[in-house]
Structure 1
C-alpha cells in the first residue's frame, strides 16, 4: 500500500477536518464529566471554607467555656519606675502597698591585675561554693568545679574554661588602662545570697589569681568583692518579704513584681472586663463569619441564573439551624434562675441571622452580673454552658459520622467515580479515534490509488484516440 505523509494529501479530501470534528463529538462526554467534577470540587472547597469558619467559632467557644476567661485580672503599678507588675490566671482582685527597701544583686569578684591575657598562669581545678554558710567559713549549698588544662592556663584561657563549664558563673576580662591592666571579673549568674561565691583552687598559681573567701575582710591574693551578693527586701501591706531575685513571684497571689528601684508603689489588681468583653465579641464575630460564609456559598444570582457551590445544600442549612437553636435556649445563671444572650445585649438580626451586640448593655452586664455571664458560657452542670455546647456541636459535625464528614466523604467518592469514568471514556475515545484514523488513512490511500489509475487510463485513452485519428 502506498504511504500517505499527511492525511488528505492523497485523496485531496478534507479528512483532517472531518477527523477533528469527529474527535470533538466523541470528546463531548469528557467535557460533561469535567464540568461535573468542577462542580463537585467547588462544593468540596466550599465545605473546607465552612470547616474553617466553624473551627474559628469553636476556638472562640472553647475560650468562653473556660471559667478562667471570666476570672482574668489586670495588675497595675502606680510607680513603674519602682516596680512593674503582671498578672496570671491565679491572680485575684486586690490592692497592695509595696515598699522596696533593697534590690537583689549578683555577687561579683575582681582579681588582681596582670600584664597580659596570654601569659601562662597555671593549671589545676577551680572550685566554686555557693550560698549556705560560706560567709562564716561553713559549707556552701552547692559546689561546682572547673578544670583548667594546659590549653587554658592563661588569663584568657581561664575565662573561657569557666564560661565553657557552665557552672553558674560568668567570667570576663576588663582593661583598666594601667601598666598591668587586665583583671578577671567573676560574676554569679543569679542574684541573691544563695548565689554568693567562695572560690578556691588546687594549685598555688590559680589560688594566687582567683581565690576568694567572704569571711576574710582582705584577700591575700589581692582579689576583691566588686558587688556584694544581696537579696531583695520589701514589704507588701506591711508584711516583710525577702527574694533572691528582683523578680518577685506570687508574694501577692498570682502577681509577678519586677523590682526596678528602691521606693514605694501601690499595686492594683482588678477584674479585666475589657478582656472578658473581647472574648464575648470574638464569639459573636466568629458566629457572624459563619453566616456570612453561608450566605456567600448558597447565593443565587437571579440576573445571570448562576448559583454558588452550596446553593440548596441541606447540610449547611442543618448546621445553621442547629447553631442558631442552641443559642436561643435560656441557660442556668448559677443562682437557680436562667439567663439568655438577649439579657446581656446580644440579639439576632431578623434579616440575615447575624448577632448584634449592644455594647452599653454588655458593659453593664459584665459589671453587674459577671457570675451569671460566667455560668451562661462556662457552666459545668448538665450540658454545660454555651461555650461547651457549641464546642461539642462542632466536634459532632466533624466526627466520623458527622454531617460535614459524611458530606465531604460523599463528594470525594463522587470525584473519584468521575475520575474513573473520565479515564474510561478517554480510553474509549482514543480507541475510536485510532480506528477512524486508520480507516481514513486507508481511504486516503485507496482514493489516491484510484486517482492514479484514472490518470493512467485517461492517458491511455487519449493516446489511443490520437492514434486512431491519424
Structure 2
C-alpha cells in the first residue's frame, strides 16, 4: 500500500512537496511586495530618527543662546593672582574694581587637656551646655556615656552634623577632645558650660577666660575685604554680591595690597555658543539632505525624498536665515550657496565689540528673533504631538498593519497548502489504483496468451 506523501508512490507524485511548491509560487508576489513595504517603512523610521536627533540638537543649542546666560555672560580678570579668585554670573555688573583682602574668616577650634588610659574610663558626668552661632546644645553625660569617646559621640549626635563637630586627637600626652566650629567667623564662637554630676566635665568648659578647662587652638575670625574702599565683613571666605553678580573666594590676607578686578563681557563663551549653533544647524541640513537626496547615477532615492514635511521645514529654516542675513553677517556668520553656515571668529569678535546688541537681536529670547522663530520651527517638529511624532505614530501603525497582513497571508497559505496536499494525495491514490488495475489486466492478458 502506498504511503501518502512518499516519493516511492507508484504514481510518482509527492503530495507534500508539490503542495509546498505550489504555495510558494502563489505567495511569492505578495511576499515580495510585503518585503518591499517593510524595507520602505524601516528606512523611513530610520530617517525620522535621524531628523529628530539633529533637530533636537539644534533646538538645544538655541535654548542655550536664548537663555540669557550667553548674551549676558561675564568674565573676570585680575591684575594679580594673589589673595582671592573671582567668578561672575550672567548679567554681573561690568566695570573695573579695586579689591583689598584685609583678613580671612577662620573657624574656632578648642581642645581639652590630654587624658590617659585605654578610653574606657569615665572622665565625668553631668551636663554640657554648648553655645555657638546663636544655638545652644544641652548634652547629658552619665556613667553610660561618660568616657571620652562617649562624650564625643553624645555631642555629635546632639549637633546632628550642623554647626559643631567633636573629635578625638591622641598625642604623646594622651587623648584630647577637640571641638571645631563648622562655620567660620566670630558669630560662631564656641562656649561650653559644665554643670552637675561629679565635676569632671569642668575639663571641657570654655568661656575664653583663664579658668577655662579647654584651650583655644584656632581663634574665630571674620573675613574683611574692601572693594573700591567699601568694607564688607563676613563669617565666610566666600563673598557674594559685594559687586552685583560677582563671587569672591578669599584665599590669603594681604592688607595694603590692592588688586584690580575687571568684569567684562565673556566673548569666548558667546563665541562658543554661537559656534555650537552653527555646527548644529549645519548638521541639521546634512540630516535633511541625507534623508531626502536622490542619486541620479544609481537612480536610488532616500527614504524621505520628495516628502512635503521635510520640504516645509527646510523652507522655513532658509527663510528664517534670509530674513536675518544682515545681522548674521555683522556677527561674522555667512550663508553658503548650499544653505550651510560659516562662522568667522575674528569678524564675530569685531562685530560684537562694535554692536553688542546684535547678539540679542539674532539669538535673544523673544519669539520674533531669529533664534525664537527657529526654535518655534524645531518645536513643531520634535515636540510631543509634533510632525515627527505624528509621522512616527503613522509608521508604527503601518508596521502593525503589515504584520497583520503577513499573519493573515500565512494563515491563508497554510490552509491552501493543506488543501493542495489533500488534493494531490487523492490524485496519487487514484493513480495508484489505476496502475494496479492496469497491472492486473496486463497479467491477465499475458496469462491468456500463454494458455493459447
Q: Identify the residue that residue 27 of structure 2 maps to in structure 1.
A: 27
Q: Identify the residue that residue 160 of structure 1 maps to in structure 2.
A: 153
How many angstroms does 1:454 deviate by? 6.0
Q: Deviations over 1:18-65 (max 9, x none)?
A: 333223223321332132022122112211211221111112222222
Q: Identify the residue that residue 137 of structure 1 maps to in structure 2.
A: none
SS of 2:303 mapped into structure 1: coil
Q: TM-score normalized by structure 2?
A: 0.88
Aligned pair count? 443
Answering whether residue 451 of structure 2 is matched by residue 468 of structure 1, we say yes
User: What is the distance in 2 between the residues matched to 1:461 and 1:258?
Assistant: 123
User: What is the distance in 2 between the residues matched to 1:207 and 1:330?
Assistant: 78
Q: Identify the residue that residue 276 of structure 2 maps to in structure 1.
A: 282
Judge conservation of contact 2:124–2:201 (CA < 8 Å) in 1: no
Q: Identify the residue that residue 302 of structure 1 maps to in structure 2.
A: 296
Q: Identify the residue that residue 121 of structure 1 maps to in structure 2.
A: 123
Q: Deviations over 1:182-221 (max 9, x none)?
A: 111110111111221112345345623422222x2331x3
The answer to which of 110-119 and 194-203 deviates more is 194-203
Q: Identify the residue that residue 182 of structure 1 maps to in structure 2.
A: 175
Answering whether residue 424 of structure 2 is matched by residue 440 of structure 1, we say yes
How many angstroms does 1:439 deviate by? 2.9
Unaligned runs of 5+ in 2: none
How many angstroms does 1:226 deviate by? 0.9
Q: Identify the residue that residue 248 of structure 2 maps to in structure 1.
A: 257
Indicate the RMSD between aligned Cα atoms, in angstroms. 2.8
SS of 1:101 mapped into structure 2: strand
Q: TM-score normalized by structure 1?
A: 0.85
Q: Identify the residue that residue 328 of structure 2 maps to in structure 1.
A: 341
How many angstroms does 1:3 deviate by? 4.9
How many angstroms does 1:70 deviate by? 1.1
Q: Identify the residue that residue 374 of structure 1 maps to in structure 2.
A: 360
Judge conservation of contact 2:291–2:304 (CA < 8 Å) in 1: yes
Judge conservation of contact 1:65–1:385 (CA < 8 Å) in 2: no
Q: Deviations over 1:240-288 (max 9, x none)?
A: 1111011112222211111111123332211101111111121111111
Judge conservation of contact 1:104–1:229 (CA < 8 Å) in 2: yes
SS of 1:121 mapped into structure 2: coil
Q: Identify the residue that residue 47 of structure 1 maps to in structure 2.
A: 48
Equivalent runs, 1:9-408 vs 2, <5 Å: 9-10=8-9, 11-28=11-28, 29-115=30-116, 116-131=118-133, 141-148=134-141, 151-165=144-158, 166=160, 167-178=162-173, 181-202=174-195, 203-205=197-199, 207-214=201-208, 216-219=209-212, 221=213, 223-263=214-254, 264=257, 265-330=259-324, 339-350=326-337, 352-378=338-364, 380=366, 383-398=367-382, 402-408=386-392
Judge conservation of contact 2:19–2:418 (CA < 8 Å) in 1: no
User: What is the distance in 2 between the residues matched to 1:42 and 1:147?
Assistant: 75
Judge conservation of contact 1:218–1:224 (CA < 8 Å) in 2: no
How many angstroms does 1:308 deviate by? 1.5
- Residues 258, 402 of structure 1: alpha-carbon distance in 2 compared, 3 angstrom cutoff: closer
Judge conservation of contact 2:34–2:406 (CA < 8 Å) in 1: yes
Unaligned runs of 5+ in 1: 132-140, 332-338
User: What is the distance in 1 between the residues matched to 2:112 and 2:383?
Assistant: 69
